[in-house]
Structure 1
Amino acid sequence: MPVRTALITGAAGGICSALCRALAARGDRLVLFDRDETALKELTSELSETTEVRALIGDVRDAARLERELGALTGGWTPQILVNGVGGDTRVVPLENLDEAFLNDSLALNVLPVLTTMRLCAPAMKRSGYGRIVNFSSAGGRTYSHFSNAAYVAAKSAVLGLTKQAAYELAPFGVCVNAVAHGPIATQRIADAWTDRPEEERQAVLSRIPVGRLGTVAEAVGSVLQLCSEEAGFTTGTVIDVNGGLLI
């Protein structure tokens, strides 16, 4: 199997850092993008023992910075795999307390970087006749959220629209574009929000999940890794639900 170069945004986060380890283990070359400089340097140092790694420190909301950084990725560092893992919001805010600025912030974090990275990576993927793009939506983007708010749900729903249109346009060029809609996964961020909730609220949430528990990071990574593989060449425009039966 040829060595592929994978670009992961939000690389130092819970699910994405585990994904980076899995991609490194199978031999992929990695470009890691994150704004957490300390965590990114630690991850880069760890993964450099396994594969070639390049770290890019920055905020994905800065489209001009993204364009400069990704434009410098040439030759073997040109991404053939793109995973948009940035996003999230664990603030439970009632609809009447949201305003336009709140929605704009959510779109800036959860949607615009997906468009920016796809438009920057797609041309090289089309020329090479190969590409795998995986965008992180959420179970909230499919229905509603126990853990967040309407602005976040709207943003993650928009990710699904971007994914499907990109999949349609890029399919003739061997580029597959899919989304993963994770339910409640026990990352550190979710675990912190989870422990802040009263016991009766936690039990109420678990009662709605047929498997009766939160998902593990390893379970979250598995579906993403598959969509990044050679074998996913006939899978495009799909939304993979990883939610323990929360949405059936």
Structure 2
Amino acid sequence: MELATHTTTTAADAFEDVEVAVLPTGSVEQHGPALPLGTDLYSATAVAEAVGDRDDVARCPPIPVGVSAHHRQFHGTLSVTPETFEDYAYDVVASLAEHGVRKAVFANGHGGNVDALTRAARRLREHDVAFATPWNWWSNLDGLEGELFDVDGITHADAMETSMMLYLTEHVREDALEDAEAGASDAWGETVHGAPVGFDTADFSESGAVGEPTKGSVEAGEALFEKATEELDALCDWLTAQDFADLAPEAHR
């Protein structure tokens, strides 16, 4: 069920079957000169929509702006503090719990959100409000990224994100992909003798991209999307089958 399309009375009926809420979380931040600012938002929302037709899943409206201060030097980037983001995510899931939906997935599209989402999930569990788990769309690709691009994991505005945007949207400036790659860094961050010295993307990437975005394709994006949605669907199956009492901290003492 798509929560926002319901009325309060139809939601009351629908919630009788709902076991799990899926809350997409993304960002509005620079993704280089070729990809849209909403890349993380678009990917998280699309993957969440893929499970939205399940009667036992309530798909919530997305949280669009995330923790993105490390992209602040690039135009168009929006950001909130980790504390604001954590509290917002916590409060949304807590409000669902008031209506009996006490299991949730943060379907996330932005790496900068992970720490705050993990803290929100821990608080929800410790306070016996709900059980929520952060889940990134790229977190369980079973090596697909290696098969497609000969890489291990996602970076930023790279071939993986380019592929997802080519498949999901019409907002990729394909004529700017070469410029994005020319000014990209080879890897995320910068270190000296093992110490991080590049805290913002602008410290190590001229274009704001990382990796090789020119290797992205619609076909690869479709494969990534299908794998991600398959994993989210399976995660919802697992959560649906769990007794809430077994997810509580006391159950593991």
Q: Same fold (TM over 0.5)?
A: no
Q: Which structure is richer in relative contact order (CA contacts within 8 A, separation 6 or more)?
A: 2
Relative to the length of structure 1, the TM-score reads 0.43
Relative to the length of structure 2, the TM-score reads 0.42
Query: Is the radius of gyration larger for structure 1 or structure 2?
Result: 2
